[in-house]
Chain A
Amino acid sequence: NAGVMQNPRHLVRRRGQEARLRCSPMKGHSHVYWYRQLPEEGLKFMVYLQKENIIDESGMPKERFSAEFPKEGPSILRIQQVVRGDSAAYFCASSPSRSLYNEQFFGPGTRLTVL
């Protein structure tokens, strides 16, 4: 059973470009979570999605950031018009559906560098 997959592992963008980060959850998992880890900081929750639905986006910046989890295909975190402050590691996690107590399994992360 493959774990959570993220790609790309490293992404370099210039200021003003768009960044698209992809996450494929573990097989059988329909809950996806995105976290951001800044240098010297802990993981910060961004958004929680189920298939075709955004459940909680309270950790997402109001502008330039969006997330989706379509019926088919991976979840995508999109950052438009990137700025240097967006440089961070972005982790995706997934958990099984219909579980009240369940751990979140993390992917290897995408390290975004904005030049």
Chain B
Amino acid sequence: EDKVVQSPLSLVVHEGDTVTLNCSYEVTNFRSLLWYKQEKKAPTFLFMLTSSGIEKKSGRLSSILDKKELFSILNITATQTGDSAVYLCAAHNSGGSNYKLTFGKGTLLTVNP
């Protein structure tokens, strides 16, 4: 069975801290790994990673994939209270027409002022 595991499950930091969120996966026919940010509504797309070792950046957020070790990390530097959310990692597989996303349980990040 496909599996995605995120750690830690929750994290509390102070504004200005740097955080690293972890995601490991075991997925057949792996295609890509996606990160989403979920506040009290729809998960919002952050990154899609398909190749190992290539860092993707968007402002204070960055992410990288290691397809050999089957994991990805999401870094957030100089955290702000607005970064407080659940961060979801999902692995995308593809067999034939199957584009299913398998999600981890998420990391709840709380950034205190």
Contacts and interface: CB of A to CB of B under 8 A. Distances in A.
A43 B103 contact: yes
Interface string B69-90: 0000000000000000000101
A44 B94 CA distance: 16
**Size band of the interface chain B makes with A:** 20 to 34
A41 interface: yes
Interface in A27-41: 31, 33, 35, 40-41
A104 interface: yes
Contact of A44 (B98, B103, B106): B103
Given A101-B31, A101-B50, A106-B42, A95 B88 contact: no
B105 interface: yes
Nearest to B86: A42
B56 to A, nearest CB: 12
Given A41-B105, A43-B88, A43-B103, A103 B48 contact: yes
A65 interface: no
B34 interface: yes
**Majority secondary structure, B binding face:** strand
Interface string A71-115: 000000000000000000001010100001101111111000000
Interface string B1-44: 00010000000000000000000000000011010100001111
A4 B42 contact: yes
A45 B4 CA distance: 13
Given A55-B98, A56-B97, A56-B98, A106 B43 contact: yes
Nearest to B35: A103
B88 A101 contact: no
Contact of A48 (B36, B99, B102, B103): B99
B21 to A, nearest CB: 14
Nearest to B36: A106
A108 B41 contact: yes
Interface of A: 3-4, 31, 33, 35, 40-45, 48, 55-56, 58-59, 91, 93, 95, 100-101, 103-109
